[in-house]
Each structure stands twice: as structure tokens, then as C-alpha cells.
Amino acid sequence: MHLISRRSRTPRPVSTTTLSPLALAVAAAIAFGGVGLSAAAPAVAAPIQAESPGRLPVPLGETELSAPGVVDVETTTVLNIINAPTSYGGFAILSAIVEPTGPAILMGQSVEFESDGVSIGSSPLLYVSGGKFISLLPVAYVPDAGTHSIIARFAGAYDETTGNNALPSASAPYEMVVAPVATETWITAAPSTVLAFEQVDISARVSSPVPGAKGRVALFADESPVAYADLSEDGSANFVGVSLPWGTTALRAKFLGGETRNFAESTSVAQQVSVTALGTAVTLEVPPSTVRADETLTFSGTVSNTDEASRVDPRGEIQILVDGTVQYSAVLGASADSTEGDGAAQFAIEAGELSLGEHSVQARFLPSPGFSGAESAEFAFRMLGVETEITPAEETMRVAPGARLPLPVTVTALGADDQPNVPADGNVQAFIDNQPFGEAFTVEGGVGRGELPPLEVGEHEVELRFTPADHGRLKSSAIVAVIVAAEDDGGTDGGTDGDTDGGTDGDSDGASPEPKHPDTSGKSEQTAVLGATGSETPLILLGGLGALLLGAGAILGGRRLRRR
């Protein structure tokens, strides 16, 4: 069948290739050599029938017309694997044979080779014998590591000599498996002894039979990766400023391969290393040697790194021991200041939480891995109690026999220096002759009120002893004088006649009067009064006599008037 154009109605070939006689001779020689290579190849793909029969595509603008004597000739393409590499870096060498099933001359046409659908090369066809055409030159390429599908494809051609169309065909796919090429990794430079957290430089190298290895290298401290580096063109990898964790015993470098995975992973042999803990020191700042119980104590503990090679802030726990017992602790994670290589912790303690008397204090550092422990010097201090003062409402009290005695009091804790006094809480117990008397009563907010049982007639000393609720405050006491006596008659001296001398006759000296007897001396009562009182009251007596005389005159005058 011929393809004829509507315009020219003459057959038009799809493609035509001509070779000079010299080129044909050279091609024949190579082709025969190629056949020999094909027979010795480790694997040869089975032939595949040509693709579905059909005519070649007609160029745009042309009209397909049937012409007498034009025949579509099917073809078969066979892929010949001259060499198949097993690992990356080897060459894959390919050739192909195209055999038409009918008359068709394909010499000079080309056969295409594809890997995973991508063209990797082509070669012209040369007639050998038996109606077969072989690729003139083998196609060689280096496949990446992995599994690939290789095919040879004949695109079809129009043979002007026979006037026939050789139809397209493709070989059966050949699966080629290429493994990554082996590599070797080793550490070229690394210290054998380092301080914990010290920054060190470590080098490694990767080699391979195939040049051009690319990828990353990881540095492992025991089983944990601690650094990564890109592989240089010369195969070296440098890890700069690596800090090895505490407890590391071995270093390994591992080549992780590249993106194409053409180079296999590999790990170096272990290199032994010893990591030494960083030395530390603890300092403790303490308050003065004597402290009042109502003050706040501030302990400042600082843990310092004593190794100059690594200025890492110590990590761990700092403890404050009071009298050998852990009272406070804090975790050190980073410096409390801007100084490198130390960790600080501050403790604010209410002194009242400690008992009164002598105490010792010390700081201790419990390290995290990579640091050594340390203790500070031991310091002594004395805890002083806060004085209190109890004040009764009255220092002297009078009660009647059989009456209960009320005792209102106020209690304060005395402030230090310019600090104000503050109310104190606790309880008060009364004592007489150093023996408890009555029930104790409570003081809250600095105010309390108690009541004692009746006391015997007489004078008593009652001691009020205050015991504070806060163990940081001291006890205090006060004396109240109590007088128990019978009530008087309105005076203030205990008498019953209203006078002030305690007697019963109205005199001023407290003596009882002698019995009165009738006057036998002939003296008047006024005279007796004058004699009894002496010279202290003459004016009063004279005034009395004057009043009597005036009264007598008035009586006489009245009688005279009535007589009239």
C-alpha cells in the first residue's frame, strides 16, 4: 500500500535514509561483530511481535489513497543485553535486531532504546543476513541504582525500494536490577579523652570504587547521633564544635548515602572515647551570725564550673541543709545571672520556721550527668527569740470577799530597732506562790480576758505568765496586787459611820469614844464642847452664841407685838 497525497497522487515515504558504499561496508563489519557479542551476552530478551498492524500516520494535509502493490509489513524487535551491571558504576551495553516479516529494506533506519520510558540512545540498522537488521553501534550508559525496565523500539519506516510499509514494533521489557555501590567509612581524627560538654572537632572519610560519592555523614555517640556533615568532593566530612554527652564510650561515623541512593550506607568501626565529668564548687552566702525569729533569712547558693575548658552552667539540684537535714531544694537549669559557667539559686526563709538557739547551715549540689557533686563550707548562726510584753488592765485590784477576780490583759511582741510592736497570740496562766491558780485563758490579736476564783481576805500577789503560740517568741509575765477586804459604809477607809478614820464614833483618829456620862461640874454643854475641842474652834462657837442671841431677841419682839 502506498501513501499518496491528494495533491500529487504519488506515493510519499515517511522517512528515507541512504548510506554510502563505504559506510555500508563498515556497518557490515560492526554488525557481524555485534552478533558475536549478542551471542555471548548474559541475557537476551525474547522477541516481541510488532505492535498492532497499521499504516504509518499520514502527514497533515495529505489524503491516504490505496495504491496497487503497497503492503504493510509487520516487524519484530529483539533487545540484546550485551552487558548488565549489578551495581552502580557499571555500564549497561545494549543492541537490538529488527526483523520484518515481509519484503522491506530497513538499513539506515534507527532503533531507539528506552529505560523506564525515557530515551537513553539510538543506533542505525544494518542488514546482516536472513532478512534481519541489527543496530550498527551498541548503546552504553550507566544506570542509577534501582530496578529499571529496558526496551528497544523500532518506529517503523517506508521502503521506497519495495514500496512497502515496515510497521512499528517494540521488544519485550527487560528488568535490570542495579545495587548501590559499596562504600567504606572511617574516623580520621577524634580525641580519646574529653570533658563533658566540651566542644571538639572530629573528622571522617568515605571511600568507594566509584568516584563521586555524595550525601551526608552522621556522627554517633554510642547509639545516638550528635552531629551531621555533608560529604565533600574529596570524600571527607568534618564535624566542628561537637559536644559529647556524659557517659559516651564510643564514637562512630555513618555514611547515610545520597538522594539517588547510588552509594551504599556504611559505618565506621567504633573509636573509644572517655568523657570526664566537669568539676564544680559550691559557695553559700548566709545572714549574720545572730538572727531574730521574726526576720527573713536569705541563703544564696552558687554552683560554679571549675573547668575552664567548658564554660557550661552546672545542671542539677542544689540543697540547703539546716542542722544536717535537707530543708530546701531547687533545680538549677540555667544561670541566674549573666556569668557563664555557674548556676545560682536563692532561698528566702522565714526565721520563725526554725527553733530558737544554735543552728548550722550548708549547701550541697546533686549533679546531673556530666557534672561532679560538691558541698559548701558549714556555717553556724544563732536564732534569737522575739521578746513579748504582757500588760494587765490594773496593777492593783480590790475585791470583796467571795467575789471572782476579772483579769483583762494585752500582749505585744516587741519589734526590733525601729520596727513597731505587733499583737501576740497565746495563752495566760495565773500563779500564786508559784502554783497555777485558776484556768488559763486565750489571747488572740493581742487581747485576752480571764477570771480567777475568789481569794481569801487579805493581800495577794498574782503572777500572770504568757506563753506565745509562735515558737519564735519568748514568754513574759506581769504581777497584779490583789486586796480582798469587806466593803466600807461609803467612806474610803473601811469604817461604818461615814467618817474617814475607820472608827465608829465619827472621830478622825479611828479610836472608839469613851462612854458619855452626865455633866456634874456645872459647866454648860457649850463649855464642854469648847474644852473638848480646844482652841481650834473659838470663832465657830462665838458665831453660834451670836445666833442664839438674835433668836432670843426675835422671840421677845414677837411677844411684844402680840401684846399690842
What is the per-residue pLDDT across 198-254, written as a single tens digit (0 to 9) for each? Answer: 889 999 999 999 999 999 999 999 999 999 999 999 999 999 999 888 889 999 999
* C-beta separation of 188 from 236 below 8 A: yes
Strands (E) located in 306-423: 316-322, 325-332, 342-350, 357-367, 374-375, 379-384, 388-392, 396-399, 405-413, 422-423
Name, in order, each residue with C-beta under 8 angstroms of 75's C-beta and a sequence gap of 6 or more: 50, 98, 99, 100, 101, 104, 106, 154, 156, 166, 167, 168, 169
Instruction: Tell me if 503 is assigned to some domain.
Output: no
Q: Are residues 165 and 30 in the same domain?
A: yes
Instruction: Tell me if 494 is assigned to some domain.
Output: no
Instruction: Tell me if 331 is assigned to some domain.
Output: yes
Q: Are residues 374 and 438 in the same domain?
A: no
- Report the DSSP beta bridge partners of residue 465: 429, 477
Q: Are residues 261 and 338 in the same domain?
A: no
Q: Cell 542539677 maps to which residue?
A: 316
Q: Are residues 76 and 212 in the same domain?
A: no
Q: Which helix (H) or strand (E) holds 282?
A: strand 280-285
Name, in order, each residue with C-beta under 8 angstroms of 56's C-beta and a sequence gap of 6 or more: 3, 14, 156, 158, 165, 167
Which CATH number fits the domain that encloses residue 401?
A: 2.60.40.1930
- Report the domain count for the chain: 4
CA–CA separation, 368 vs 5, rounded Å? 91
The H helix count followed by the E strand count for the chain is 3, 43
* C-beta separation of 399 from 387 below 8 A: no
Q: Are residues 42 and 174 in the same domain?
A: yes
Q: Which helix (H) or strand (E) holds 304?
A: strand 296-305
Q: Are residues 132 and 165 in the same domain?
A: yes
Instruction: State residue 83's pLDDT score.
Output: 97
Q: Hey, is 33 helix, strand or coil?
A: helix
Instruction: Tell me if 267 is assigned to some domain.
Output: yes
Instruction: Tell me if 197 is assigned to some domain.
Output: yes
Q: Which helix (H) or strand (E) holds 280?
A: strand 280-285
Q: Are residues 360 and 433 in the same domain?
A: no
Closest alpha carbon to 484 in 392, 396, 391, 395: 396
Q: 3-state SS of the chain: helix, strand, coil percent to 5?
A: 10, 45, 45
Looking at 368, 383, 398, the residue that finishes a domain is 383
Q: Are residues 117 and 165 in the same domain?
A: yes
Closest alpha carbon to 371 in 527, 541, 246, 511: 246
5 C-beta neighbours (distance < 10 Å), count: 16
Q: Are residues 235 and 351 in the same domain?
A: no
Name the pTM for this structure: 0.53
What is the per-residue pLDDT across 43-73, written as a single tens digit (0 to 9) for each? Answer: 333 343 334 334 444 433 333 434 556 789 9
Instruction: State residue 524's pLDDT score.
Output: 38
Q: Hey, is 31 helix, strand or coil?
A: helix
Which CATH number fits the domain that encloses residue 312?
A: 2.60.40.10
Q: Are residues 169 and 35 in the same domain?
A: yes
Instruction: Tell me if 61 is assigned to some domain.
Output: yes
Closest alpha carbon to 464 in 482, 452, 481, 477: 477
- Give the domain extent around 203: 184-276
DSSP string, 399-467: E-TT--EEEEEEEEEPPSTTPPPEE--EEEEEEETTEE-S--EEEETTEEEEEEPP--SEEEEEEEEEE
Instruction: Tell me if 557 is assigned to some domain.
Output: no
Looking at 324, 356, 383, the residue that finishes a domain is 383
CA–CA separation, 343 vs 358, rounded Å? 29
139 C-beta neighbours (distance < 10 Å), count: 20
Q: State the amino acid at position 407 in one-letter form.
A: L
Instruction: Tell me if 506 is assigned to some domain.
Output: no
Instruction: State residue 206's pLDDT score.
Output: 96
What is the per-residue pLDDT across 25-35, written as a single tens digit (0 to 9) for each? Answer: 334 434 434 33
Q: Are residues 162 and 38 in the same domain?
A: yes
Q: Going from the first residue of the chain to its last (564 residues), give the mean pLDDT of each consecutive group of 10, the final group possibly shorter.
A: 28 33 38 36 37 40 47 95 96 96 92 96 93 94 96 94 92 97 96 90 96 94 95 95 90 91 95 92 84 82 80 85 88 59 66 82 90 91 92 94 94 88 95 95 96 93 95 93 79 44 43 40 38 41 48 42 35
| Chain centre distance of CA 239 | 29
Looking at 156, 178, 200, the residue that finishes a domain is 178
Q: Are residues 152 and 229 in the same domain?
A: no
| Chain centre distance of CA 193 | 31
In whole angstroms, how large is the CA radius of gyration of the chain?
A: 64
CA–CA separation, 253 vs 279, rounded Å? 29
